[in-house]
Amino acid sequence: MTALLLAICVAMQKRGAEKETPGKNVKAGKTCKKDMDKLIISGGKRLTGEIPISGAKNAALPILCAGLLTGDSIELQNVPRLHDVTTMLRLLRQMGLQAEQSGEQVILNGNAINKCDAPYDMVKTMRASILVLGPLVARFGEARVSLPGGCAIGSRPVEQHIKGLEAMGAEITIEAGYIHAKAKRLKGTRIVTDMITVTGTENLLMAAVLADGQTVLENAAREPEVTDLANLLVKMGAKIDGIGTDRLVVQGVDKLHGASHAVIPDRIETGTFLCAVAATGGDVTLTKARCDILDAVVDKLCETGAVVTKGADTIRIQMSARPKGVNFRTTEYPGFPTDMQAQFMAVNCVAGESSHITETIFENRFMHVQELNRLGALIKTEGNTAFVKGVDKLVGAPVMATDLRASASLVIAGLAAQGETIVDRVYHLDRGYDRMEMKLAAVGADIRRVK
């Protein structure tokens, strides 16, 4: 067992070292090598053993941007090794932020920032680049950030980020696809966003911490990733009340200082592996996990018949029967996360009963449905609801990943299916899962990557 773990660690390190940055990969009109990677899965294996959970992608990305808010050093632990993190570091480095990365540690220093630009070429590969807007205007009084545009799961506008900054006194013009924001010093105010927005809350929070006076963010997102960012900002000297609630009250300060912080464990990666076991059967313990931020998903897993046992930083799932189909509806935290909808749908595909799933956050987040149906699933969609009729078995086939969480759902379905599933366009998965196929192989899945 120890030898097996050692072999996996060595393989992981080798792969980590071989990783190419998206900057080197993505050249206009050319297909990069990583884009050609596929996962080959031989389904039907029970999963048993332990999987360590990595740091949360959606906490790490805003936290890296918080490095723009100070000239001192920020030392970060538990930063996941993902393509999106590499892309964010590349964006921040081209602004002059120094970033030293060693394994899961990143040390940032923002004392030599000389550019307040986020160019289209970078923003178009990762929407979370918009998170530089708030900190840049707050600290340097200026930012020029490409508009992100739509993506596979929805149109995803950012007008709430802009509305909030304007309310704080920023002058904003949109020209030639860029948001240009200027402000001598942002002024605290009360902002009520039209809807709950995660990165919108994070952007405005990072703007408010250096603003003049008090900012109240009403209708704020309560996602644990927002809380993690707020906790880091407090360590940097920010004054924030109401952390974890939908009303954040910020007293702006003149300056922030250095801090050290460990990124929270990824609740979506955790939920994804839990769903994999619920679909295939098995007994797996997830380590380095947080049990208190995944209640909605765990409750639904228990309804499928899984036995879930929470420890201090572990979650164990035991599944010995075919899952029961479970109805759910995605909502903002603490409700069922949209980022888990596709993976849980894969569980429902092999359930003994029919179920229905309603997606309320994004207007186009059912792209995985057609691909799951290629594996023999019986899913129909009507508007924002998917009706899933559980089948006795899925049968392996070639499928194509369309976005990050859709890719994860295809992997889960492939693990549960009979025969061979080939998942194409694995680069979507690499954006947000840290060596997923190696973690799954370590608990007995027959899964490998081919170039």
The structure tokens listed for 389 are: 């009729």
CB of 148 to ligand EPU, least distance (A): 8
Q: Should residue 134 be labelled a site residue for ligand EPU when binding is judged by CB under 6 A? A: no
Q: Does 61 bind ligand EPU (CB under 6 A)?
A: yes
According to CB under 6 A, which one of 159, 171, 299, 313 is a site residue for ligand EPU?
159
The residue from 160, 227, 304, 348 that contacts ligand EPU (CB under 6 A) is 160
Q: What is the largest CA-CA distance in the chain?
A: 64
Question: Total binding residues for ligand EPU by CB under 6 A?
Answer: 23
- Does position 272 interact with ligand EPU (CB under 6 A)? The reply is no
Name the CA dihedral angle for 336, 310, 229, 148, rounded to a multiple of 10 degrees.
-40
Helix (H, G, I), strand (E, B) or coil at 65: helix
| One residue of 141, 149, 154, 169 binding ligand EPU per CB under 6 A | 154
Distance CA 39, CA 44 (A): 16
Out of 361, 375, 379, 417, the only residue in the binding site for ligand EPU (CB under 6 A) is: 361
Q: Please indicate whether residue 151 is annotated as part of the active site.
A: yes
Pairing state between β 117-118 and 73-77: unpaired
Looking at the Cβ atoms of 251 and 364, the one nearer to ligand EPU is 364
Pairing of strands 315-319, 328-329: unpaired
Helix axes 133-140, 159-167, angle to 10 degrees: 20
Q: Indicate which residue of 9, 32, 116, 151 is catalytic.
A: 151
Q: Phi and psi for 174 in degrees, rounded to 5?
A: -120, 120
E strand or H helix at 33, and its extent? none
157 near ligand EPU, rule: CB under 6 A? yes
Q: Which is nearer to ligand EPU, 109 or 272 (CB)?
A: 272
Q: Is 198 in the site for ligand EPU (CB under 6 A)?
A: yes
Instruction: Count CB atoms within 10 A of the CB of residue 7.
Output: 11
Check residue 362 for interaction with ligand EPU (CB under 6 A): yes
- Residue 148 Cα distances to 46, 127, 194, 277, 331, angstroms: 41, 5, 19, 35, 23
* Residue 428 beta carbon to ligand EPU: minimum distance, rounded to whole angstroms: 9
The catalytic residues are 151
Q: Using CB under 6 A as the criterion, which residues of the chain lie in contact with ligand EPU when the complex forms?
A: 58, 61, 128, 154, 156-161, 195, 197-200, 225, 338-339, 361-362, 404-405, 432
